[in-house]
Amino acid sequence: MAAAWHSHLAGKLALAQTLLRLAVNSNQPLQQEACKQGVIELMLRSRRLLLYTLAECYQQRKGQPQNIDQLGKLIGADAPEVQQLLALQANADSWWNHLEQLGDAQNRPPAAKKTISNDNIIAVTAAVGADRSLSSVQASLNAIKQFSADVEARHSEW
């Protein structure tokens, strides 16, 4: 059954890759944004499916953990994948946290842009938030795909 979950996960990641390719090859801003948001949604769903897949790999068929802590309670906090995911969660530059930032940004309306004039310029700061560039999204997609492939390789040996 874990193979079915992994196959489902791989399918979502393949769809995300296809949408990302469409975004890269498009010269229409609306189409690029639609594809980018679709990729982010598929990656967020894939991250959750990864947790389900891991639960299934550890014979926890009824478990559908929503986060790493729930996965740890279900399969054991000392499981190698739980430890890897906790390390990713602790690393601010990891794909896990990048997806968290992308999801947060996707759940909020865009920030209102202020008009700039000589009267209201005080200081210039860089915008804080998730890097939504196509290259950054591609890097996180590649990382989750690699993590998923590693899980499959580790558990298919059984």
SS (H, E, C) 36-73: HHHHHHHHHHHHHHHHHHHHHHCCCCCCCCCCHHHHHH
pLDDT, position 55: 94
Total count of domains within the chain = 1
Q: Residue 84 and residue 88: Cα distance in Å, rounded?
A: 6
Give the global pTM: 0.86
DSSP state of 129: S
* 8 neighbors 118 (Cβ within 8 angstroms): no
Kindly list the averaged pLDDT for each block of 10 residues, start to end, along the chain of length 158. 87 97 96 96 97 93 92 95 97 96 91 67 61 93 95 80
Tell me which residue range forms the domain holding 106: 8-157
Find the angle CA(89)-CA(68)-CA(155) to the nearest 5 degrees: 105
pLDDT, position 129: 76
pLDDT, position 155: 87
> Token digits for 110?
């865009």
Nearest partner of 55 among 5, 125, 121, 118, judged by Cα: 5
- Is 2 within the bounds of a domain? no
Nearest partner of 48 among 72, 76, 71, judged by Cα: 71
- Is 1 within the bounds of a domain? no
Find the angle CA(129)-CA(133)-CA(137) to the nearest 5 degrees: 95
Q: Collect all residues with Cβ–Cβ distance below 8 Å to 9 and sequence separation of at least 6.
A: 46, 49, 50, 53, 148
Find the angle CA(29)-CA(34)-CA(35) to the nearest 5 degrees: 100
DSSP state of 109: P
- Is 3 within the bounds of a domain? no
pLDDT, position 141: 96
pLDDT, position 33: 95
Q: Residue 11 and residue 17: Cα distance in Å, rounded?
A: 10
